[in-house]
């Protein structure tokens, strides 16, 4: 678990730096940093959707490929890889054209105001040109991790992230390109990562290799990928829906300052959740491979350790945001009014993050075992069934913007309790007891 999870955590943390570093630098642009940061925050739903489609093909295909490898069927695993690549290329083309054609009305619907639309449009207009690189870098990297080559997967992200960190201040401040420079630095970095991933999956060192014959779309294989990939897709795409609901609610009940606060808070949420996702993704290949080999004992042992780790991370995060919210806010902005607002509302917003570790551990285990329907339900539960309605209803009932901040902890606690209960109720069926499992 450590061998696979530590590099995966590092990879997720590094990947998080792409957007986080952009926001940190943008928030410190002289005179206009707060508006520029708010404008870029409005683009999050589009960026999240691009990443969600990468997860649809990558996280939908990688567990299936791992199960086939565990069963000794390498050809079938490579067929899944090839079809995932084809799916990534097709979605990249559709997303680039669709969002580019309607970006301004979409951004206004997502909460942009007259003061922030220029920054939002400038950033996303350039970012969309690199959609294909984002799709390939994120979507195919999971097929490196699923081979047990976690260090290689980490390096593919590290190369792009380091380049982004170097280019951001040069493009934003030295060349004075502002938000355009931040977007350009991001897509150039993702292009380098994509080239690294493709090169590895085509070389002899890769257990799974991209083969031209398998890139041809096979409806049956794509159907299986889609069946499992719909859960991580909804997990990420509904994050886009949540951002839209939060941004528009903040704009309605508060204004640009409150939209800026949710941008910072969601950035900090990423700093907590993405490394935790790295843990779950690093452990998934162990579960999938052993589930395919019918070694249920090892799957159960892995889950127990995974749950302990994710709960430790989220409980620690809860303590951190409760004790030092102002310190975290200052990372993203020097504006005192915005820092004071974030410091006041952050402990409330993260009031249920301590329970979220249970949801992540159980959700990823259902994914690793190929339980598409259950994963789909759990993906919908927290955000679509609970969080979005709560974020719409609570501010109307309370007549205050604080109702929007309170929706998050309520949804976290209810969803985590439901997920853990569901997993425990199905554990014996999915993972038979020791006497039914093979030894060793």
Compute CA distances 190 → 15, 157, 161, 239, 249, whole Å. Answer: 10, 8, 8, 21, 32
Write down the pTM of the prediction: 0.74
Q: What DSSP element (H or E) covers 372? A: helix 372-380
Q: Residue 144: CB partners within 8 Å, gap ≥ 6?
A: 152, 153, 156, 197, 200, 201, 206
Instruction: Report residue 49: phi and psi, to 5°.
Output: -65, -40
Can you read off the two tokens belonging to residue 255?
Answer: 């204004």
Tokens of 106: 């979409």
Q: Scanning the structure block, which residue is given the tokens 């790295």?
A: 278
**Angle, CA of 387, 393 and 396, to the nearest 5°:** 140
Directed axis angle between helix 178-201 and helix 2-27, to 10°?
160
Going from N- to C-terminal start, the domains of the chain cover 2-433
| Tens digits of residue pLDDT in 29-85 | 888 888 898 898 899 899 989 999 999 999 899 989 988 988 889 999 999 999 999
Place of tokens 């926001």: 23
pLDDT of residue 149: 84
The predicted pLDDT at position 12 comes to 66
Q: What is the DSSP string of 26-78?
A: HHTSTTTHHHHHHHHHHTHHHHHHHHHHHHHHHHHHHHHHHHHHHTT-HHHHH
CA atoms of 423 and 417, how far apart (whole Å)? 10
Tokens linked to 384? 């679509």
Helix, strand, or coil (residue 147): coil
* Alpha helices for 202-335 (secondary structure H): 212-215, 219-253, 256-292, 296-323, 325-330
Which among 388, 416, 396 is positioned nearest to 242, based on CA atoms?
A: 388
pLDDT, residue 440, reads 46
Residue in this structure with the two tokens 């859960």, named with its chain if needed: 231
- Residues (pLDDT < 70) of the chain are 5, 7-8, 11-12, 15, 18-19, 433-440
Q: What pLDDT score does 265 carry?
A: 93
What is the pLDDT, as a whole number, of residue 88? 97
């Amino acid at each position: 678990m450590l061998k696979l999870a530590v590099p995966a955590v590092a990879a997720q943390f590094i990947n998080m730096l792409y957007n986080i570093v952009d926001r940190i630098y943008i928030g410190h642009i002289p005179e206009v940093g707060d508006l520029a940061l708010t404008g870029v925050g409005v683009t999050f739903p589009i960026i999240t959707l691009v990443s969600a489609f990468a997860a649809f093909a990558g996280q939908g295909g990688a567990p299936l490929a791992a199960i086939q490898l565990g069963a000794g069927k390498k050809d079938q695993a490579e067929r899944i890889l090839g079809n995932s690549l084809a799916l990534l290329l097709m979605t990249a083309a559709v997303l680039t054209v669709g969002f580019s054609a309607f970006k301004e009305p979409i951004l206004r619907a997502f909460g942009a105001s007259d003061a922030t639309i220029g920054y939002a449009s400038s950033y996303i207009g350039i970012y969309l040109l690199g959609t294909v690189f984002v799709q390939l870098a994120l979507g195919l990297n999971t097929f490196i991790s699923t081979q047990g080559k976690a260090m290689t997967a980490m390096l593919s992200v590290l190369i792009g992230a380091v380049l982004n960190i170097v280019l951001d201040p040069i493009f934003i401040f030295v060349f004075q390109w502002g938000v355009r420079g931040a977007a350009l630095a991001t897509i150039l970095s993702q292009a380098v990562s994509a080239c690294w991933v493709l090169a590895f999956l085509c070389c002899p060192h890769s257990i799974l290799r991209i083969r031209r014959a398998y890139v041809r779309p096979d409806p049956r294989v794509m159907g299986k990928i889609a069946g499992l990939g719909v859960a991580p897709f909804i997990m990420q795409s509904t994050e886009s829906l949540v951002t839209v609901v939060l941004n528009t609610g903040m704009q309605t009940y508060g204004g640009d300052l409150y939209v800026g606060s949710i941008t910072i808070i969601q950035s900090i949420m990423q700093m907590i959740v993405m490394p935790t996702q790295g843990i779950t993704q690093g452990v998934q290949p162990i579960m999938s491979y052993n589930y395919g080999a019918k070694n249920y004992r090892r799957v159960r042992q892995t889950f127990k350790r995974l749950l302990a780790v994710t709960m430790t991370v989220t409980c620690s995060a809860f303590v951190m945001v409760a004790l030092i919210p102002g310190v975290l806010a200052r990372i993203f902005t020097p504006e005192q009014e915005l820092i004071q607002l974030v410091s006041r509302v952050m402990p409330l917003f993260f009031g249920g993050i301590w329970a979220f570790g249970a949801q992540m551990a159980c959700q990823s285990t259902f994914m690793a075992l190929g339980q598409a329907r259950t994963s789909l339900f759990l993906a919908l539960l927290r955000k679509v069934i609970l969080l979005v309605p709560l974020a719409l209803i609570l501010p109307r009932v309370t007549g205050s913007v604080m109702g929007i901040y309170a929706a998050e902890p309520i949804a976290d606690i209810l969803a985590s309790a439901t997920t853990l209960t569901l997993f425990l109720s199905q554990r014996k069926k999915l993972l038979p007891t020791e006497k039914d499992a093979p030894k060793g």
